[in-house]
Chains A and B, each alone.
Chain A
Amino acid sequence: MKRVVVDPVNRIEGHLRLEVTVDETNGKVQDALSSGTAWRGIELILKGRDPRDAWVFAQRICGVCTTVHALGCLRAVEDALGIEIPKNANYIRNIIAATQMVHDHIVHFYHLHALDWVSPVAALKADPAATAALQNTVLEKYHMDLKGPVEFDSNAYPKEFPKATAAYFKAIQEKIGKIVDSGQLGIFSAQWWDHPDYNLLPPEVHLMAVSHYLNMLDKQREIVVSHVVFGGKNPHPHYVVGGMPCSISMNDMNAPINTERLAAVDTSINMAITLASYFYVPDILAIGELYVKQGYVDGGGLAKERVLGFGDYPEESYSGTSNGDFHKHLLLRSDGIVENFAQGAEKAIFYPFEAKDLTDPEVLTEGVEHSWYGYPEKDVDLHPWSGVTKPEYTTPKEGTKTDWKYLDENGKYSWIKTPKWKGKMAEVGPLSRYIIVYTKVKQGIIQEPTWVEKMMVDQVDAVSKLLNVAPEKWLLSTVGRTAVRGLEAQLMAYISKYYFDKLVNNIKAGDTSVANMEKWEPSTWPKEAKGVGLHEAPRGGLSHWVVIKDGKIANYQAVVPSTWNACPRDSKSGYGPYEATMMDTKVKIADKPLEILKAIHSFDPCLACATHLYDTSGRQLAVVHSDPYVKI
């Protein structure tokens, strides 16, 4: 038995530590621990601030899934204050969110995950001509011809297309060769390039994928042009409570949004569709099929037992979230919980997730049994609106307070809390969204699927046919979790286009409004209000919770996707998704746990999001910002 520590976990956002105990005789992981090793206290910083400013602060929870916390926050504040945003603002926010999803997924796969699967060193052994031939085969065999509705098709032909010439692959190979020869490997340094898993793919796949790593590094920035046009920058584009600040006018030369601006967004959406359809999906299916055919379908973990989603992409503006109106307008109805998908979509058990579940103190809760926080009553979990977080740091099992050897799996070991649905843990993310929608459609719970839901089912069925494996067999694995993210990028690129078309049609109908300012002034707000904002972020279901009193934030809480997934264990509910997945993964060489990295990276960890601090004891901050320019 060997205890192996991986810290820092690389290619993620934030600070994550893993400890696994491996039985070296059979490669089985006997125990696994996931620890968020930093917290910043943003929710505490939010207390006492103006709710109209809150999105700027909340947005800085994360710069990788930039913008998703701004959206969650705006939705929570607007829910609390009863603000319905204009149609155009809803469309624009959906475009920003969907393009964020495409961008985040592409950067995740190529730049944060690919190097677990492919190796630049292995690429040196490839034959460039054979790689060109392989690229052609990949495009023919794995290009999935599924599309969303496109009303105004401005794209004459795919502008970005994988190059399939020997000379091109030779040039890339020569560059890699020079880097390796120079001894300055830079970002490629020190990896276990001799790990046997890199032999699962032929050298030509390595060369093709490493080339695409570089292509996508150069292209990804163009996917988020919509953020720069509508929000002025990326990361961290700008919004306003009540809608968007980017006014639309076709009568003013200096308007934030006019035809030329829309054209820039349209061109970038066209490119996002192309990148997802011709690079991402074919690459991921080519690699995925090679893995599945060689029997690598482990790493399903908790997804086999339970997944959770909130649903998103409201077709039209809605009057609120806690009143149930948000859930009546969804284009992507991944709201609900699915248990037992391992037995197949027909035998899986579906539970709805409704607005009343948001406000019921028994449904969504967080526990701190193994988190570095203390609760007033031991073993009593708390709802986000009434939760308490008091830091309670403890020393590790071996080592000192400031120099750890091993963390204490029997005590507290993470800055991440343990969120639960009805006392149970659940996995969230792209895989969860696909499982929920697939189950709901196959079981007839969704009678009339939207085009988005139909496309999701078609994608899953097409991949199952290609692999000749049932959905529950390939989906519930590290490969499945990774592949679904690619399918979702393709879907989200079309969702961007769908809302772009709706935006154009609405402007055409004469509506240029982007902000509802009726309740801008604090004098129009209730004395006390509570709100919740939901979003299906790239890494899964996100919820922001706000309590507003006397025009200021009295309490703020975010239960984010990586909190659900990276949380520590719980004596009543078992292991969280990361830990369960590690224990469902075989490790060939204990000292080089590449399989563990690959499995954890398949969740796309985002740790600054997951770890947080807030305080709901009702304590007021000493400073009231009535005049921010008078410094005491």
Chain B
Amino acid sequence: MDNMESLWDLFQKKNVSRRNFLKTCVTITGILGLSPSLISDVVSAAERQPLVPVIWLHGHECTGCDEAFIRSQTPLASDVLLNMISMEYMDVLAAAAGEPLEQHLQEIMGKYNGKYLLAVEGAVPLNDDGIYCMVGGKTFVHNLKEVAKGAAAIIEVGSCAAWGGIQAAKPNPTKSVSVSDVISGKTIIKVPGCPPIPEVITGVIMHYTLFGQLPPLDSKGRPKQFFGNRIHDTCYRRPFFDSGMFVEKFDDVGSKAGWCLYKVGCRGPEAYNSCGNMRWWNGLSYPIQSGAPCVACASNNFWDNDNFYERMPNIPVPNTIANADKVGIVAAGALTAGVIIHGALSTIQHKRHHQENDEPENDKK
């Protein structure tokens, strides 16, 4: 954002004193023919750095990622929208519609060429020349390519933009692809999730506004601070996995006791996301805490990893900490053996728990 420095930034760079800066502001006030009472306003305007302009486009999506964005508590969406960025184009929240909105988009693209952040929500349908998603009378793929040209960086918000998402699941009727499949030569950040955790979306934006640069990314382009661990590694139910204490079917004794959901299909061991540590609503819960197996909604192609309730056959051995680049190297045979042992242990644990628990209504159906 080099070209968007404030006047005060320029003075500081040139080692000109604060006193001189204020003098200049007084002069500007005079030149503009403003009343001297407005000097302080001019000073604050000269100090103020323009907010980062953001353009947010929608392709094939469900608007769940916008909804996630406004659910953020830290920072609040109102603070992001009014004090951290300038959301110049986002049809979901924009006051304007149609032609004036499209006109404004053109103006912003010209005025902030090379400087705006582009957030994209949704996949890009390519079948039949892209006619399955038309915005403003033109194809979404056309609009995306136009807007991407002048973007400083692109954020793929959600699994649809990052991987293609649900519409790209078999048989992918509209031939939907991710943003990075059609845009190249730009820095692209993947923020996957269906939707991403609200504070992950706003966290990426806030990182950019706080530190003036994009957050460090992993080899797949995901911010490491949000996608550096598997849910399995940060899951509060992990000790039950390690002890072989599993939910065997929904609402059984292990389900009530909050044991590991691996055997009912939990994808935590392959899911890189912040659900385990950050959780949703600033620590309130996440699917596993609410008794539901993770479907790995931030993973590539998770939709075709069904059935969701079928247990994963291959899983890294307990007590390992693997990162995205290393996982999958581990030999499957050894793992399967480990899992079988776990299954046996779990049955024993179930019996023990049942005997110890003398509250019969707990197990009633």
Contact = CB atoms under 8 A, between A and B. Distances in A.
Interface of A: 5-15, 17, 37-42, 44-45, 49-50, 52-53, 56-57, 60-64, 66, 107, 111-112, 115, 175, 179, 181-182, 184-192, 214, 217-218, 220-221, 224-225, 228-240, 242-249, 251-256, 264, 393, 399, 401-405, 510-517, 520, 597, 608, 613, 621-623, 625, 628-629
A238 to B, nearest CB: 3
B40 interface: no
Contact of A9 (B97, B194, B357): B97
B280 A233 contact: yes
A60 B62 contact: yes
Contacts of A189: 88, 94-96, 104
A405 B134 CA distance: 12
A446 B67 CA distance: 38
B145 interface: no
Contact of A186 (B81, B92, B171, B365): B81
B352 interface: no
A248 B304 CA distance: 31
Give 5 closest A-B pairs by Cβ, nearest first.
Answer: A63-B64, A254-B258, A232-B287, A41-B173, A238-B292
B251 interface: yes
Given A186-B81, A245-B290, A235 B195 contact: yes
Among A37, A53, A252, A623, the one with the most B-chain Cβ atoms within 10 Å of its Cβ is A252
A403 B64 contact: no
Given A40-B167, A60-B62, A10 B94 contact: yes
Contacts of A255: 256-258
Given A11-B93, A40-B176, A513-B365, A66 B292 contact: no
B174 interface: yes
A515 B67 contact: no
B250 A242 contact: yes
A49 B308 CA distance: 10
Given A50-B307, A218-B76, A628-B310, A246 B291 contact: yes
A189 B135 CA distance: 19
B29 interface: no
Interface stretch (B12-20, B48-56, B213-221): B48-56
Nearest to A44: B173
A163 B357 CA distance: 51
Nearest to B158: A63
Contact of A221 (B70, B130, B310, B313): B70
A247 B254 CA distance: 9
A220 B131 contact: no
Interface in B80-108: 81-82, 85-88, 90-104
Interface string B160-180: 000001110111111010000
23 contacts: A11-B94, A13-B92, A40-B173, A41-B174, A45-B303, A49-B307, A60-B194, A61-B62, A66-B62, A107-B70, A189-B104, A221-B73, A232-B292, A236-B64, A236-B195, A240-B292, A243-B251, A247-B255, A255-B256, A256-B290, A515-B250, A625-B306, A628-B307
Contacts of B135: 7-8, 15, 37
A271 B272 CA distance: 34
B104 A190 contact: yes
Contacts of B98: 5-10
Contacts of B169: 45, 57
Interface of B: 41, 45, 48, 50-51, 53, 58, 60-68, 70-73, 76-78, 81-82, 85-88, 90-104, 125, 128-140, 142, 165-167, 169-174, 176, 194-195, 197-198, 237, 249-251, 255-259, 275, 280-281, 284-293, 295, 297, 303-310, 312-314, 357, 359, 361-362, 364-365
B129 A401 contact: yes
B62 A13 contact: yes
Contact of B82 (A14, A186, A628): A186
Contact of A232 (B129, B131, B289, B312): B289
Contacts of A517: 249-251, 365
A521 to B, nearest CB: 10
B4 to A, nearest CB: 11
A39 B174 contact: yes
A53 B309 contact: yes
A253 to B, nearest CB: 8
B146 to A, nearest CB: 13
A237 B287 CA distance: 8
A393 to B, nearest CB: 6
Given A228-B290, A404-B137, A628-B310, 15 more contacts: A38-B125, A63-B66, A63-B68, A182-B50, A182-B51, A186-B82, A221-B70, A232-B285, A235-B195, A238-B287, A255-B256, A255-B257, A264-B284, A405-B137, A625-B306
Contacts of A613: 173
A292 to B, nearest CB: 24
B103 A629 contact: no
B287 A231 contact: yes
B81 A187 contact: yes
Contact of B281 (A191, A221, A621): A221
B167 A41 contact: yes
Contacts of B281: 221, 225, 228
B134 A37 contact: yes
A260 to B, nearest CB: 11
A12 B98 CA distance: 13
A623 B167 contact: no
Given A8-B91, A13-B63, A256-B290, A184 B250 contact: no
B241 to A, nearest CB: 13
B176 A184 contact: no
A214 B83 CA distance: 13
A5 B257 contact: no
A13 B65 CA distance: 11
Contacts of B198: 221
A192 B96 CA distance: 7
A8 B197 CA distance: 27
B287 A243 contact: no
B68 to A, nearest CB: 6
B132 A39 contact: yes
A246 B140 CA distance: 40
Nearest to A404: B137
Contact of B101 (A8, A37, A246, A629): A8
Given A56-B308, A247-B255, A187 B171 contact: no
A593 B60 CA distance: 27
